[in-house]
Amino acid sequence: MVKPEIDYTLYLVTDSTPAILGDRDLVDIVDLACAGGVTIVQLRDKTSSTAELIVIAERLLGVTTAHGVPLLINDRIDVALAVRCEGVHVGQDDMDLATARRLLGPDAIIGITASTEEEALRACEGGADYLGIGTIYATPTKTNTKEIIGPLGARKILEAVKDAGYLIPTVCIGGINHGNIQRVLTESEMILPRVHGAAVVSAIVADADPELAARRLKDLIHNIPMRQIVTPPESWENRSLSLEIWEVVRSIHIKKPVSHNMTNLVVQNFAANVALCMGASPIMANYGEEAADLAKLGGALVINMGTVTPDGLANYVQAIQAYNHEDRPVVFDPVGAGATSVRRNAVRHILSAGRLAVIKGNEAEILTVWGSSDENPEQQRGVDSSSTLIPTQKAVLVRRLAKREKCIVVLTGATDFVSDGEAVFEIRNGHKYLGEVTGTGCCLGTAISAGVAVVPGIRGVVAAMVYYEVAAERAAKREGVRGPGTFVPAFLDELSELRATVARGDSSWVVEGA
């Protein structure tokens, strides 16, 4: 057996007392809860006999296995061994971690309850697989709780864990329900180190409809209303926009801002064409000496470290300082930031070289930038990384990084997240072809530079992104576009034609500002 990857997002702890379970069958409840989206189950039963427990655990394991969800047993290492489920959860007064580990082996999941920083650190040190942090709120489900710590108490524990360098999953527990789950997750801060999820008993088990209760909790976790959704996904026509995207596109058309790109070898031509089609004036110049003159032209600079060299780095620094001197925006694209130690160092170097207006990257790149600060020893990862953060965590990540670096942060993906440290915008436009040809991510950096060159701040950034991604949507629908190859020219056409539509003053594609 290999230690399973666990999704801690919605953690169900069972309770068989009549006050919570009533006269229903626990196995049915767990089955429904799993159907509703519970990601991990713990059998917690303080009253049944050992023989009864084993029977219940076996039945539960049948259900959880069918749903692909792990089953843990509270307190009872013997029961977990008997039924061979994924692991156990132990409290501070239960069997000690080292003994439990020796009995269960290295691949078992062992979770520990922690209500203080000391308990949390001891559990991390001892090799716990996750922490159950609580008691968050007083709860009738467990009355012998030691301390009510609230979401802020959970946050303190997380900070202590982070400072000690541990990257352990955590869940909050105690009195969590539909009314407070979003608050618990945001106030405890969900990110790096993060609360990976919420553990509940009564909010699911005591509910008349456990499947719906689970589904609603899951939905609440995934949709914490801290971000504004900029655009509905379907058509460009009849959409309501909360930002004046139109005005930004028009400004680019009228002002023709310089987009000075210090970019990689792969995308120079494509990026220059994107800038042209958007109405900007591209200059592809990698020599830092030129930046002082170019910065005076009133445009914006793109630093794209896709093919970084020692020379390149010195040029970037020189250019950033020149643009800072003229108070013109710099867009930083930390391409492949986590891939090599050279690139990780380059990120540090660039962050400390001067003021950046925008940092734009995919999840792995933004996580690397976040972790490049000494206070955030997040593990570094390569260019290609499967998505690991849920939307709310992405929103928290961009907002916190934006706040720390005092700039705008863009995290790209099927859905993009943009923040200036306060607001978070979510952009759902774009098309999959953008991910199937090289350079479209880098060119988005160029597009953003055109936007912030004419409208500083988050409005210019979001508008340029929507413009770019809507052009991609329209291009993909064009006649004759059959795949990524035919998509590229159609995309350039759309960038150009959308702008022409706007320049004519035709706002049919922008209906009602929100």
Binding ligand 3NM by CB under 6 A: which of 36, 37, 134, 306? 134
Is residue 372 within the footprint of ligand 3NM (CB under 6 A)? no
The least distance separating ligand 3NM from the CB of residue 225, rounded to whole angstroms, comes to 23
* Interface map 232-271 toward ligand 3NM (x if CB under 6 A): ----------------------------------------
DSSP state of 432: G
Task: Count the site residues for ligand 3NM by CB under 6 A.
Answer: 18
Looking at beta carbons only, is 114 or 407 nearer to ligand 3NM? 114
Q: State which residue has the least CB distance to ligand 3NM.
A: 134
Binding partner selected for residue 142 from ligand 3NM, Mg ion, none, CB under the kind-specific 5 to 8 Å limit: ligand 3NM
For tokens 């269960």, the residue is 104
Binding ligand 3NM by CB under 6 A: which of 188, 202, 251, 440? 202
Residues 17-56 touching ligand 3NM, rule: CB under 6 A, are 44
H/E stretch holding 40 reads strand 40-43
Is residue 135 within the footprint of ligand 3NM (CB under 6 A)? yes
Are 158 and 170 a contacting pair, CB within 8 Å?
A: yes
Is residue 145 within the footprint of ligand 3NM (CB under 6 A)? yes
Q: CB count, 10 Å around CB of 310?
A: 9
For tokens 């940092």, the residue is 359
CA torsion 75→77→78→81, rounded to 10°? 140
Is residue 15 within the footprint of Mg ion (CB under 5 A)? no
Binding Mg ion by CB under 5 A: which of 94, 244, 493, 497? 94
Taking Cα atoms as reference points, which of 382, 388, 389, 387 lies closest to residue 365?
A: 382
Q: Is 442 one of the annotated active-site residues of the chain? A: yes
Helix/strand/coil for 275: helix
The least distance separating ligand 3NM from the CB of residue 46, rounded to whole angstroms, comes to 10
Which window, 168-176, 288-296, 340-348, 478-486, contacts ligand 3NM (CB under 6 A)?
168-176
Binding partner selected for residue 158 from ligand 3NM, Mg ion, none, CB under the kind-specific 5 to 8 Å limit: none
Question: For residue 343, what are its two tokens?
Answer: 């690139």
Q: How far apart are CA 366 and CA 354, in angstroms?
A: 18
Is residue 16 within the footprint of ligand 3NM (CB under 6 A)? no
Is residue 173 within the footprint of ligand 3NM (CB under 6 A)? yes
Q: What are the angstrom distances between the C-alpha of 158 and each of 57, 117, 134, 163, 182?
A: 32, 8, 12, 9, 17
Are 191 and 402 a contacting pair, CB within 8 Å?
A: no
Is residue 176 within the footprint of ligand 3NM (CB under 6 A)? yes
Looking at beta carbons only, is 91 or 413 nearer to Mg ion? 91
Question: For residue 453, what are its two tokens?
Answer: 């060159």
Q: How far apart are CA 367 and CA 393, in angstroms?
A: 11
The least distance separating ligand 3NM from the CB of residue 393, rounded to whole angstroms, comes to 22
Residues 57-116 touching ligand 3NM, rule: CB under 6 A, are 113
Are 262 and 286 a contacting pair, CB within 8 Å?
A: yes
Is residue 58 within the footprint of Mg ion (CB under 5 A)? no
The least distance separating Mg ion from the CB of residue 113, rounded to whole angstroms, comes to 7
Q: How far apart are CA 454 and CA 409, in angstroms?
A: 18
Q: How far apart are CA 331 and CA 310, in angstroms?
A: 20
DSSP state of 9: S
Is residue 175 within the footprint of ligand 3NM (CB under 6 A)? yes
Are 199 and 13 a contacting pair, CB within 8 Å?
A: yes
Is residue 220 within the footprint of ligand 3NM (CB under 6 A)? no
Q: Where are the beta strands (DSSP E) in 238-362?
A: 258-262, 281-284, 300-304, 330-333, 358-362
Q: Which of 85, 124, 277, 442 does the annotation list as catalytic?
A: 442
Binding site residues, ligand 3NM, CB under 6 A: 13, 44, 113, 132, 134-135, 139, 141-142, 145, 173-176, 200-203
Hey, which residues are catalytic here?
442
